[in-house]
Amino acid sequence: MGFDYQHPDAGQSTEDLHSPSSTLEDACDNIRQRPSPRRSAWSVILYWASRLALLVWLLVVFAASFVVLESLRDSLGRRLSLIQDPTGNIPHFPILPREIKLEANKYTLDPDNSTMADVKKVEKLWSALLPVGQGFLSPKHRLDELPEISSDPAGNPAYPVAVFHELHCLYMVMAGYNGLAMGQKEQHPHMRHCFDYLRQAIMCHADTTIEGKFDVTVGDLSEDAEDSQARFATHVCKDYSAVVKWANDHRTNEYVGIVNAHRPGHEKSHHDG
């Protein structure tokens, strides 16, 4: 019969190996250090609750920061965008270089040598510059920041877009001049309004393009004279065709015309003031 012999560890005495008190104390320590099932469950709950609270707090901070940054970005964008709707109802449009070229033979007439057919022809060309609906729209945002609402030719509550109002006024000034030159005494009642409105619009735009010599005198508006001025100056402009397309897509009515608004195919006109 053989016996296995274990050599005691080097720093451990024989008394330690055979001491009942040492074994009992170690067992008690293990019991004290081992958490109870109830305490362990609460620890897990507190751990995940703290993590959840931290996550919620981070989400709240992120959302608040996003709102503040969006508000700041919107405020800066509105402040820095010149010749733009400040309420954000109308989008930004592409910016393009555009050479100014005289088109007086197309959009004006010689009142001393013109017929009513010529007048109607020029009016039709000016009307084609406007979108269907004459540029009236119904905004959806920041209504409290808008001026008093107007109405479109169909009688719907709507707002006009400035550029189309400006074109209307410019045509009215030209038509008034032509009418006087052709012996017509009756003038549109808001002619003075148009003069001052255009004055303020030009000053608001404050186009700072550097221009050169523009030597076309009265009576020298032949096509050859206009062609010679093809490189008068290059301006930085909004894409007008994009503006017209957007206004077409957001119109509140189906009326057309630079002066006497009417629906296509209808002879009866509605006077546009």
Domain check: are 263 and 148 in the same one? yes
Q: Is the residue at 193 inside a domain?
A: yes
Domain check: are 103 and 66 in the same one? no
User: Residue 94 in contact with residue 242, Cβ under 8 Å?
Assistant: yes
| 256, β-bridge pairs | 262
What CA–CA distances, in Å, run from 207 to 42, 97, 211, 257? Answer: 72, 13, 11, 28
Which is nearest to 165 in space by CA: 247, 227, 222? 247
Q: Is the residue at 90 inside a domain?
A: no
Domain check: are 173 and 61 in the same one? no
Q: What integer pLDDT is reported at residue 202 of this predicted model?
A: 96
Q: Is the residue at 221 inside a domain?
A: yes
Q: What integer pLDDT is reported at residue 5 of this predicted model?
A: 44
Among candidate residues 80, 106, 137, the one where a domain is terminated: 80
Q: What integer pLDDT is reported at residue 55 of this predicted model?
A: 87
Domain check: are 76 and 118 in the same one? no
Q: Is the residue at 6 inside a domain?
A: no
Q: Is the residue at 8 inside a domain?
A: no
Q: Is the residue at 86 inside a domain?
A: no
**pTM (predicted TM-score):** 0.66
Domain check: are 102 and 217 in the same one? yes
Q: What integer pLDDT is reported at residue 89 of this predicted model?
A: 93
Q: Is the residue at 205 inside a domain?
A: yes
Domain check: are 76 and 109 in the same one? no
Q: Is the residue at 187 inside a domain?
A: yes
Among candidate residues 35, 53, 80, the one where a domain is terminated: 80
- Counting the structural domains of the chain, the total is 2
Domain that holds residue 104: 95-271
DSSP per-residue codes, 36-101: PHHHHHHHHHHHHHHHHHHHHHHHHHHHHHHHHHHHHHHHHHHHH-TTS-TTSSS----EEEEE--
Q: How far apart are CA 83 and CA 78, in angstroms?
A: 10
pLDDT in tens, 205-226: 999 999 887 655 545 555 555 4
Among candidate residues 35, 56, 80, the one where a domain is terminated: 80
Q: What integer pLDDT is reported at residue 3 of this predicted model?
A: 44
Domain check: are 152 and 258 in the same one? yes
Q: What integer pLDDT is reported at residue 263 of this predicted model?
A: 79
Domain check: are 122 and 185 in the same one? yes
**pLDDT digit string (tens) for the chain, length 273 residues:** 454 545 445 444 444 444 444 555 555 555 555 555 666 777 778 878 888 888 888 888 888 877 777 666 655 555 546 678 888 899 999 999 998 888 888 899 888 888 889 999 999 999 999 999 999 999 999 999 999 999 999 999 999 999 999 999 999 999 988 888 888 777 777 788 999 999 999 999 999 999 887 655 545 555 555 455 445 789 999 999 999 999 999 999 999 999 877 777 655 444 444
Domain check: are 137 and 32 in the same one? no
Domain check: are 171 and 195 in the same one? yes
Per-residue three-class SS string for 151-193: ECCCCCEEEECHHHHHHHHHHHHHHHHHHHHCCCCCCCCCHHH
Domain check: are 241 and 107 in the same one? yes
Domain check: are 251 and 147 in the same one? yes
